[in-house]
Amino acid sequence: MGLPMTDRLSIQLNPTMPLTTRNPVLLIHGIWDTGAIFAQMAHHLTQRGWSVHTIDLVPNNGDAPLEHLAEQVHQFARHTFGSQPFDLVGFSMGGIVGRYYVQRLEGINQVQRLVTLSSPHNGTFTAHGYFRPAGEQMRINSPFLQDLNRDLHQLQQIDFTSIWTPLDTMILPASSSVLPIGRLIKLWIPLHAWMVSDRRGIETVERVLARPYRGQEQSGYVSNPNALRAIA
């Protein structure tokens, strides 16, 4: 898959942005993980005024299809946020689960920002040797992913950002984390798991969450108004 990069996106935090304007954030982990993997990110965002929530998907080993995990997100959001708008950050498989919730379970009506970190939007070769439902769904060009990617235009209704690293050895090819829509941010982080703990990953997520919703410019922000491509 080609990577037609254009403008560099520069996002600067607005220090005067009222904390009350920040949506609560739900962090969704990847396969074999729990919400504990976000400990550093959650602490960082909490210290900066966000209300941060994590979810433990069950089972977390791929035994359940991704639709089942997305339904857990749906139930968690309904009980935790009610009708309040919120933002989603999904790591690896969690980004695909988040997308399914947004695109198929009416999350599009409530989620304002969706951020994925090293998520296999187009599948990964590492999943071809994992013979469990979620693993099969994350294979290259799986029917599940093809179906989800047919409706990419839905993500234009929200603020969508994909953060990826070319050095990823879990998502193969690493460019599978790239989608031709929304904002794209490339970070040279050496390991897949470090995307949620490396300072660059955490601070990039903070900057994305702090952007005005739907690209509305405010003092202290500089951004590409078309939000087509970005390299960090």
Domain CATH code at residue 121: 3.40.50.1820
d(CA 158, CA 137): 25
Instruction: Tell whether 4 is covered by a domain.
Output: no
Q: Would you say residue 221 lies in a domain?
A: no
Residues of the chain above pLDDT 90, percent = 81
In a domain, 3, yes or no: no
Q: Give CA–CA dist 49/155, Å, rounded.
A: 26
pLDDT for the residue numbered 52: 98
Mean pLDDT on 94-112: 97
Q: Specify if 232 maps to a domain.
A: no
Question: Please, which pLDDT band fits residue 18 given cuts at 50, 70 and 90?
Answer: low
Region 151-173 average pLDDT: 96
Rg for the chain (alpha carbons), in Å?
16
Residue 165 lies in a domain: yes
- Residue 70 inside a domain? The answer is yes
Domains of the chain: total: 1
- The answer to whether residue 52 sits within a structural domain is yes
pLDDT of residue 19: 57
Helix (H) or strand (E) holding 3: none
pLDDT tens-digit map of 46-61 = 999 999 999 999 999 9
The number of beta carbons lying within 10 Å of the beta carbon of residue 179 is 21
CA distance 199 to 201: 5
Q: How confident is the model at residue 213 (pLDDT cuts 50, 70, 90)?
A: confident
* Amino acid found at 145: L
Query: Which domain range does residue 170 map to?
Result: 22-215
What's the longest Cα–Cα distance across the chain? 50
